[in-house]
Amino acid sequence: MHDFDGMVGQIYDAAVEPGRGPRVLETLSDFLEGAATKLTFQNARTLRSEARSVRMPPEADHYYYKTNVFLPRIARLSAGTLIPIWDLLPREVYRRSEFYNDFCRPGDMCHSIGVVLANEPDMRVVFTCGRAEATGEFEPEHLDRLRRIGPHLVRAASVGLRLSRSEIARSANVEALDRVAQGVLIVAANGEILFANRAAEALLTEADGIRIDKSALRATKPADAAQIQRLIATAAERSETAGGVMALARPLPRRPLSVLVAPLKIESTWFVTGRPAAIVFVADPVARRGPCRASCAISIS
């Protein structure tokens, strides 16, 4: 039996603690009954790729980047898309390829399933779990498992990518959070605001989509209040349905705010030690986002 809620927590922990990444990949490999498991990061502009893998021979990676016949096809897929590989490429083409013979066979990745974690203008991230040829293909049950865990991988990737863009993953301090153009809040399970960066404070002051009510984060529109509180509570509790995304309505002609809520493990380097909490990103769709350097990668790795 797998501790699903515990695995969800591990995934989000790895988004802000890079050293936990290999352990999470091993846990996911066990959950999917696979062998080698890999995260691939591709710069969408230069097409240069990097990867983090477990249970794979080190020499296999030498063949990965230039020969991967799936990456050009994956580039057209949106975040959250599941990837049974036969939907992307005919079996006979795949088995004749250098990628299959020089990378997949020695790397126990002959049969693969995966999910697109991010496909943004500057960065693509893909999770893949493979099996050796002798083990056989993944069953529908394994795709169902990936379908359950996939949304959490996508949200954790989004958290890690946003943090890494401002080097918060390394510094994890107030000054770093204040450099983020979008609103970032750390909140307790009941919505109590433990921290708000400058962008979030500006939105709270305007009561523009979000507001403060007795030191707690609330939506300004009553119709959105229950949903954002549910996302915060499930994220802090690290349940199977932890966190999520939503839009917060604002008076016309302003477009809704985009909100991402995810679990956050608070250590002494964060704001309150040992307290259940969630991290909330609030983005204004018309605000400019700072550039990402070519080295950006999500810290789940």
Give the position of tokens 């240069």. 48
CATH of the domain at 24: 3.30.450.80
pLDDT of residue 69: 82
Is 40 a member of any domain? Answer: yes
Judge if 217 and 133 occupy the same domain. no
Number of domains in the chain: 2
Q: Is 212 left (phi over 0), alpha (psi -120 to 50) or beta?
A: beta
pLDDT of residue 60: 63
Is 301 a member of any domain? Answer: no
Reported pTM: 0.75
**Segments of the chain with pLDDT less than 70:** 1, 18, 58-66, 164-176, 266-275, 287-301
Judge if 153 and 188 occupy the same domain. no
pLDDT of residue 91: 85
Judge if 26 and 106 occupy the same domain. yes
Instruction: For Cα atoms 296, 201, 257, give the angle at the middle one, nearest 5 degrees.
Output: 65
**Residue 42 burial (C-beta neighbours within 10 Å; 0-12, 13-18, 19+):** buried
pLDDT of residue 299: 34
Range of the domain at 250: 183-283
pLDDT of residue 166: 53
pLDDT of residue 171: 46
Judge if 150 and 262 occupy the same domain. no
Mean pLDDT estimate for the chain: 82
The type of residue at 47 is L
The rounded Cα 45 to chain-centroid distance in angstroms is 20
**What phi, psi does 91 have (nearest 5°)?**
-55, -45
